[in-house]
Amino acid sequence: MLTCLPSPPGLAGVPTTLQHLREEVGLAGESWETMGVEWQALGSLWLRTDTALIRSARTDLSLTEIHQLSIPDAWKQWMFAKAMKTDAPLPSEAFGQVFTEYLRTLPASTHAIGGTVMDQAWSRPGRTGVIGLVLCLYWQAVYSGAGKDWQANFKLIERIFNAILAIPEL
């Protein structure tokens, strides 16, 4: 007898390799249902972006590459944990400000159509890729409170995803 366990409601079409992360990054379960249609639209945009990035032939970052990243520590620890298939520590309340500052340090060309977004190490599919931007935005909403910074970060991440989707070779 085959037993099927229903998956929590959420974004459909997520690659099998990332299914187990859906709830953790706010793309399934209660968060998916309560964060609203804008969040759901961002999830769909992320999925299209991740799918396009598969054509870039970039793979998950190695532990050494993760260590060398200049991203917020909580995000880096999450990447390490996912690479080692362990649970990641949750971010502190201060994470929202740290993430906002990180995004502010990105060159404007990172989120411009025809810009330099592919220069970012996280411009790749998979667990060490653009899903991290969704994770960080989700963490900012949950642990730091969604406010004006969150709204601005949301729009910036939309622009980053759209910049990736506009790359002709993807």
Q: Where are the domains of the chain?
A: 26-165
Reference 121, options 48, 50, 68; nearest CA is 68
pLDDT band with cut points at 50, 70 and 90 for residue 146: confident
Confidence of residue 157 (pLDDT cuts 50, 70, 90): very high
Residues 6+ apart with CB under 8 A from 8: 22, 23, 28, 29, 32
Q: What average pLDDT does this structure show over 117-144?
A: 96
Alpha-carbon distances, residue 87 vs 9, 60, 78, 102, 169 (angstroms):
22, 18, 8, 24, 35
**Residue indicated by tokens 């992360």:** 21
The pair of three-digit structure tokens given for residue 38, joined into one six-digit string: 């804008």
SS3 state at 10? strand
- Over the stretch 11-31, which tens digit does the pLDDT of each residue have? 999 999 999 999 999 999 999
Q: What is the pLDDT of residue 145?
A: 84
Other CB atoms within 10 Å distance of the CB of residue 4: 5
Over 90: is that where the pLDDT of 141 sits? yes
pTM of the model: 0.94
CB 9 within 8 A of CB 32: yes
Give 110-114 contacts, CB < 8 A, sequence gap 24+: 110/160, 110/163, 111/156, 111/159, 111/160, 111/163, 112/159, 112/163, 113/162, 113/163, 113/166, 114/163, 114/166
Confidence of residue 5 (pLDDT cuts 50, 70, 90): very low
pLDDT of residue 33: 94
Give percent helix, percent strand, percent coil of the chain, each to the nearest 5. Answer: 55, 0, 40
Rounded to an integer, the average pLDDT of 54-70 is 96
